[in-house]
Amino acid sequence: MAVTPLRLKLGEKIRKYLISSKLKQRDLAGALGISCSAVSQMISGKIVPQQEQLDIICDQLSLTRDQMLELTAMLTNIRNGQKTLRSKFNQLFAAARRERGVDAQQLANLTGVSCSRLQLLENCFDATPTLEEINRLAPVLSCAPEDMLLAAGMGRPVIQDGNVQLSEPTVDYQFPSQKMLPVLELAQLADCRPGESLLNYAASKALRQTAYGADLPVPAVAISADCRELKIGAGGEVLILVASERPQGFREIELFRDRNGQYRLRERRRGCWKVFQLPPVTTSAGYALWSLPVLELIIRPVRPGGSPED
């Protein structure tokens, strides 16, 4: 079955709980009576657990009642055929579009907002509209712009000259812009087909954006990973800014996938590729199945027993 956003989100949450619990994948596999490969597929969203398996996972990872209920609700929705998480804005937008009787392409023609962007706003749980998009969509959908603003969680609305504005923008909200980069989880790279544009893939699959890399000289994509996934440390998160081509003057650092399907970082020094892992390994240039130039690395360490530092 296809890896839907909801399946990917369930796997992502299991992965994060697994990392924070310090339980090894092989230990969880043993408790479930399945292979380590099956656990990896579960974490990447390629397969979903049965309810009995999820109960064992929650017990092994010592999850709280709220965490257990959240995972159970997500699994139930997946079993019922739901493909995406639905935010309040997703639901409001979809209901208004259906009531108006237009599809995404017709709405795109009426508002000037691209069809792909409209589909993202309707189906992506983490997608947040801009004020300009709300002001374009609201009159066409016969929807109160302030209702759309509140559903998106963007702050208190103020109507001025027929347009919605924010009187008190929330501290943690950042308006998307063309300079912000789409963020993919490392596991999502497995579904990017050979020859497919990484930028196009990221634009359709990314659930969030980052302001890091706004000053890069070429279009880039941010890849979010745990340091353990790349074997570059015991804990912490890393944001890897990659591009389709390396601009002039940048060091030869790459994110690559090896013959075992594992993702690694490497740097070319004196004609040899030096893999970033503990302990360091020197390997030949033909070791990688594919690679992407790395332009920047942002590492957020984890305090012992804590969460990633801000």
pLDDT for 17-74, tens place per residue? Answer: 998 888 889 999 999 999 999 999 999 888 999 999 999 999 999 988 778 887 887 8
Q: What single DSSP character describes residue 115? A: H
Peptide bond preceding 279 in cis form (omega within 30 of 0): yes
Residue with tokens 């659930």: 207
Tell me if 32 sits within 8 A of 14, measured CB to CB.
Answer: no
Query: For the chain, what's the residue count?
Result: 310
Single-letter amino acid code for the residue at 309: E
> For the chain, how many helices (H) and strands (E)?
12, 11
Residues in Cβ contact with 138 at an 8 Å cutoff, skipping those fewer than 6 apart: 144, 145, 148, 164
pTM of the model: 0.43
Residue predicted with more confidence, 275 or 66: 275
Strands 253-258, 263-269: parallel, antiparallel or unpaired by DSSP?
Answer: antiparallel
pLDDT on residue 211: 76
User: pLDDT band for position 162 (50/70/90)?
Assistant: low
Please give the Cα distance from 129 to 284 (Å, whole number).
46
159 is written with which tokens?
């109507």
Closest CA to 298 of 230, 236, 249: 236
Please give the Cα distance from 74 to 56 (Å, whole number).
16
Weakest mean pLDDT among 7-16, 32-41, 195-204? 195-204
pLDDT on residue 279: 57
Residue 284, pLDDT above cutoff 50: no
Tell me if 36 sits within 8 A of 3, measured CB to CB.
Answer: no
Q: How many CB atoms lie within 10 A of CB 200?
A: 11
Residue with tokens 């199945």: 289
User: pLDDT band for position 177 (50/70/90)?
Assistant: very low
230 is written with which tokens?
């790349």
Mean pLDDT of the chain: 79
50 is written with which tokens?
């049965």
Please give the Cα distance from 141 to 143 (Å, whole number).
5
pLDDT on residue 298: 84
Longest distance between any two alpha carbons in the chain, whole Å: 64
User: pLDDT band for position 163 (50/70/90)?
Assistant: low
pLDDT on residue 33: 93
In tens, the pLDDT along 150-161 reads 787 765 556 666
pLDDT on residue 111: 93
Domains of the chain: 5-79 (1.10.260.40), 88-169 (1.10.260.40), 181-300 (no CATH)
User: pLDDT band for position 120 (50/70/90)?
Assistant: confident
